[in-house]
């Protein structure tokens, strides 16, 4: 049984307030049961379970990211129980190249693509639901962003949520998953 812990990330001086307020660099898991996926950044894993079920990271996701999401989703589907230890916190520094609008946009877009890819590979019913609802969610996010204009950080948060759902749409349309790793940005 893996335990995932929250990461508190410190950002460089000069980081825009909307990035700090949106907390785009933290990995948080909604504490609902069951937890169906996780992140490798801060986790304890029962390796006997991993070996027993032949779980492996997907090498084809090495440049796009998402291999941890796929791994833990597969673990859950093999009967693994994922738990979140909110009182165990890890601190990590965010590099300056990741505290700008372009990086956050790419990351949210790619996260939506990976969400769709994991569903496509592991749960076709969920994938169909995501593909059908994502366009409506993009519209709702844009509308909510408009309502939130008095709070710039909240308005941007809704737009970034819309970018996430746009990523799921792009995957359904066959657009190649953004390669986040293995090349200079």
- In order along its 185 residues, the chain shows pLDDT tens digits of 455 555 666 777 788 889 888 888 877 676 667 888 877 777 888 999 999 999 999 999 999 999 998 999 899 989 998 888 777 777 778 888 888 999 999 999 999 999 999 999 988 999 999 999 999 999 999 999 999 999 999 999 999 999 999 999 999 999 999 998 876 54
- The predicted pLDDT at position 184 comes to 52
Closest CA relative to residue 142, chosen from 116, 164, 170: 164
Neighbours of 51 (CB within 10 A): 9
* Tokens representing residue 117 in the block: 């890819």
Cα radius of gyration rounded to whole Å, the chain: 17
* Angle between helical axes of 67-77 and 101-122 (0-180°, round to 10): 30
- The predicted pLDDT at position 31 comes to 67
- The predicted pLDDT at position 6 comes to 58
Q: Model pTM?
A: 0.86
CA distance 112 to 169: 8
């Amino acid at each position: 049984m893996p335990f995932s812990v929250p990461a508190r990330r410190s950002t460089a001086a000069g980081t825009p307030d909307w990035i700090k307020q949106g907390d785009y660099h933290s990995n948080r898991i909604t504490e609902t049961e069951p937890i169906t996926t996780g992140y490798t950044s801060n986790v304890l894993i029962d390796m006997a379970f991993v070996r027993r079920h032949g779980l492996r990271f997907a090498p084809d996701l090495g440049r796009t990211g998402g291999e941890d999401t796929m791994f833990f989703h597969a673990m859950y589907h093999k009967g693994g129980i994922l738990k979140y230890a909110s009182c165990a916190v890890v601190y990590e520094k965010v590099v300056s190249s990741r505290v700008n609008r372009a990086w956050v946009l790419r990351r949210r877009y790619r996260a939506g693509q990976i969400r769709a890819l994991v569903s496509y590979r592991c749960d076709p019913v969920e994938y169909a639901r995501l593909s059908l609802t994502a366009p409506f969610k993009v519209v709702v996010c844009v509308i909510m962003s408009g309502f939130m204009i008095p709070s710039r950080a909240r308005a941007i948060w809704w737009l970034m949520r819309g970018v996430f759902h746009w990523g799921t749409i792009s995957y359904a349309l066959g657009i190649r998953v953004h390669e986040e790793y293995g090349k200079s940005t």
